[in-house]
A = this chain, B = another copy of it.
């Protein structure tokens, strides 16, 4: 058999992949270097090319390929089958969405983003509410078209970010997780908080950059296939696996921000850099889901970067490279400082313990929006009430509350749970890894290769060729269990 159609199919997918690489760079640049005056022109380029991509994914030759391989599955190699499965899923999902409605959705999110910025300035949800309503209405229109066999409308959204995930499952794991965290928090609330002001000492950007560059290079981020740039809202973006870039912002009065920020993004980057080259030029050459991606960044940021053993090895180097700024701070104090718990109104400023509560709040509200059709106007109050209930603090305005995150303005509902999922995955992977070798021992001796190799073998290499739950099962022998994270947090905070 000569698989001529598969060859044509792969060549067609490569065209999509080439366009996606261009869009990736256009987006990267717009957040790292582009003069702001050029933002209108840039949006126009990005939306034009994104339209081309959508068109190729759903129209042009795609319907023909889909029909052909459904009819003649034997015309696909084993590899081609995996690729087709992924393509088909996206096709099935989107081909029922009328192109003009999709365009309207894209346009609405662009407008909503502006409205969100305006609302933030005014600290007033009312500027944003009408646009949010429009987005939600459009999603409610799309959900029946996207729907395959999910039980509730919100399940349809969840599935797009974490294939196979359901509200039933999330209710269960988030229920357990919430309880576990609140128990730990109750104990900690009785303890006295420690002085962490040393973390606000002035550290010049160049010093910070030198150390953190050394560090993530040691951890396995390959600078010959990536780079570190400055930005406002840090992110990792892989144009392809040889060009997986990370970004950070620097605060010369908060050394921990860029330090853990860069470790986090490097975790994302290491994932992309180590996807099997066989998936090049196909939609499998990327992380499998938002949750699994976040598991890799959080593994490095928290399970590695928050680990006592890690700092046993690194702290003397850190002290040395910080030019004496932390010479009077001993390892114990530093370690306590970076792991301190303090409830925060802002998700991205949260500590390691209460972080999942921020996510659970968003999850509960999103579920209410799509499964219970609550009034949009009610959201700020619901939000504030939940923060008061779970975290014991209440936002004084919408900027500290419902307006803090960009996701909803982009129409990303069902995305937030990924953050907490990634955290739970990371803890479960950490436990599984410890079955094979002592991770603390590896950290204590700077043997980071061992860790990277394990993650590459069990996660990275597969790209998007397996389902998230399948990956987790293969790597850890179990499906998702929130108790790994709870145990890890107990160990971190109560021992």
Binding site for B on A (CB under 8 A): 15, 18-19, 21-22, 25-26, 29, 33-38, 41-42, 44-45, 48-49, 223-227, 229, 239-240, 242-243
Contact = CB atoms under 8 A, between A and B. Distances in A.
Contacts of A44: 18
Nearest to A239: B38
A37 B229 contact: no
Given A35-B226, A35-B227, A41-B239, 18 more contacts: A15-B48, A18-B44, A18-B48, A18-B49, A21-B41, A22-B22, A22-B45, A22-B49, A25-B26, A33-B33, A33-B227, A35-B223, A35-B225, A37-B224, A37-B225, A37-B242, A38-B239, A41-B242
A33 B229 contact: yes
Contact of A29 (B29, B37, B224): B29
23 contacts: A15-B48, A18-B48, A18-B49, A21-B45, A22-B26, A22-B45, A22-B49, A25-B29, A29-B29, A33-B33, A33-B227, A33-B229, A34-B243, A35-B223, A35-B225, A36-B224, A37-B243, A38-B239, A38-B243, A41-B239, A41-B240, A41-B242, A42-B243
Contact of A243 (B18, B35, B49, B243): B35
Nearest to A24: B45
A33 B226 CA distance: 9
Q: Which 7 A-B pairs have the closest CB atoms?
A: A38-B243, A38-B242, A37-B242, A18-B48, A37-B225, A41-B240, A22-B22
A48 to B, nearest CB: 5
Q: Which of A41, A226, A229 has the most CB of B within 10 A?
A: A41
Contacts of A33: 33, 227, 229
Nearest to A244: B35
Contacts of A227: 33, 35
Contact of A242 (B26, B35, B225): B35
A52 to B, nearest CB: 9
Given A18-B49, A29-B25, A35 B240 contact: no
Contacts of A42: 243
Contacts of A37: 224-225, 242-243
A223 B243 CA distance: 28
A225 B25 contact: no
A367 to B, nearest CB: 39
A36 B21 CA distance: 16
A223 B33 CA distance: 12
Contacts of A25: 25-26, 29
A185 to B, nearest CB: 43
Nearest to A34: B243
Contacts of A26: 22, 25
A157 B33 CA distance: 36
A144 to B, nearest CB: 34
Contacts of A243: 34-35, 37-38, 41-42
A41 B281 CA distance: 9
A269 B285 CA distance: 38
Contact of A38 (B38, B229, B240): B240
A103 to B, nearest CB: 15
Contacts of A223: 35
A34 B21 CA distance: 13
Most buried by B among A36, A49, A226, A239: A239
Contact of A18 (B29, B45, B240): B45
Contacts of A21: 41, 45
Contact of A35 (B38, B49, B224): B224
B22 A225 contact: no
A159 B411 CA distance: 51
Nearest to A28: B29
A285 to B, nearest CB: 11
A227 B37 CA distance: 11
A29 to B, nearest CB: 6
Contacts of A229: 33
A136 B282 CA distance: 38
A342 B398 CA distance: 68
Contacts of A38: 225, 239-240, 242-243
A325 B25 CA distance: 41
A15 B25 CA distance: 19
